[in-house]
């Protein structure tokens, strides 16, 4: 409490009151300095922390992959941004924008990987992604060519859905000639020299063996009558 006296010259402050006023003044100044310093430090930290986030937001785009949302760096075009994010496009992928389209800050890119299917070609199974369409579209995307006798199941015109198993059966046709020795001896007629057994004898696979012959005569099988 300040002690004030009244004299002939007006108001007079006692020494104790003057010292108390000076102490309160110094305390008020110190409090203001501490408050200003604290506010300054907090303001700098907030600004420095918000700058990288703001710069990152300006340099990134939003990528949606089969419904899952993530961020990717903005790298000029849609294809460049996908490559920068480590996303390689497949034959069945569908993108919401053309690959050479420019990317603007804050843009959104939707990437659809296609339908998960299993492709069995000649006994080898491959888990892959199919475009929305038919079995023929899947074979074209995988660069699989069918031969004239090859079979595909389901049919080439059948629609593809998630979990479809496409089986390609390879069928080849070829002709073989097999020469074999007959299991019987040859007896000549008329005293001619016997032919060499085993020469000129042919057999078709799955059919009866053919008899041997000699020059100027007719071959006979065992059991023929003269």
pLDDT value at position 32? 65
Structure-block tokens of residue 160? 């593809």
152-156, 170-174, 186-190, range with the lowest pLDDT? 186-190
Query: What number is the average pLDDT over the span 174-180?
Result: 82
pLDDT at 120: 93
Q: At residue 59, what are phi and psi to the nearest 5 degrees?
A: -100, 5
The more confident residue out of 118 and 90 is: 118
Say how far apart CA 189 and CA 45 lie, in whole Å.
120
Please determine, for residue 190, whether its predicted confidence score (pLDDT) is greater than 60: yes
Dihedral sign for Cα 62, 65, 69, 70, please. negative
Q: Which residue has the higher pLDDT, 68 or 213?
A: 68
Q: CA quadruple 49, 51, 53, 54: dihedral positive or negative?
A: positive
Q: In what order do the strands lie in the sheet with 165-169?
A: 124-130, 115-121, 165-169, 151-153
Mean of pLDDT values over 4-12: 49
The confidence score (pLDDT) of residue 89 equals: 66
Mean pLDDT, rounded, for 88-116: 75
């Amino acid at each position: 409490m300040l002690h004030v006296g009244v004299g002939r010259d007006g108001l007079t402050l006692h020494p104790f009151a003057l010292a108390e006023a000076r102490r309160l003044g110094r305390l008020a100044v110190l409090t203001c300095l501490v408050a200003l310093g604290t506010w300054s430090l907090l303001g700098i930290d907030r600004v420095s922390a918000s700058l990288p986030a703001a710069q990152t937001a300006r340099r990134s785009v939003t990528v949606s992959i089969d419904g899952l949302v993530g961020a990717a760096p903005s790298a000029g075009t849609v294809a460049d941004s996908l490559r920068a994010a480590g996303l390689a496009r497949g034959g069945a992928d569908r993108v919401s924008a053309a690959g050479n389209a420019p990317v603007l800050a804050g843009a959104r890119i939707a990437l659809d990987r296609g339908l998960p299917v299993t492709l069995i070609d000649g006994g080898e199974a491959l888990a892959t992604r199919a475009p929305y369409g038919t079995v023929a579209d899947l074979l074209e995307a995988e660069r699989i060519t069918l031969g004239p006798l090859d079979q595909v199941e389901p049919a080439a015109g059948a629609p593809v859905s998630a979990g479809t198993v496409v089986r390609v059966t390879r069928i080849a046709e070829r002709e073989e000639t097999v020469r074999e020795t007959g299991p019987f001896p040859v007896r000549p007629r008329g005293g001619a020299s016997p032919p060499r057994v085993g020469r000129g004898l042919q057999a078709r696979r799955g059919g009866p063996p053919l008899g041997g012959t000699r020059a100027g005569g007719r071959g006979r099988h065992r059991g023929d009558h003269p």
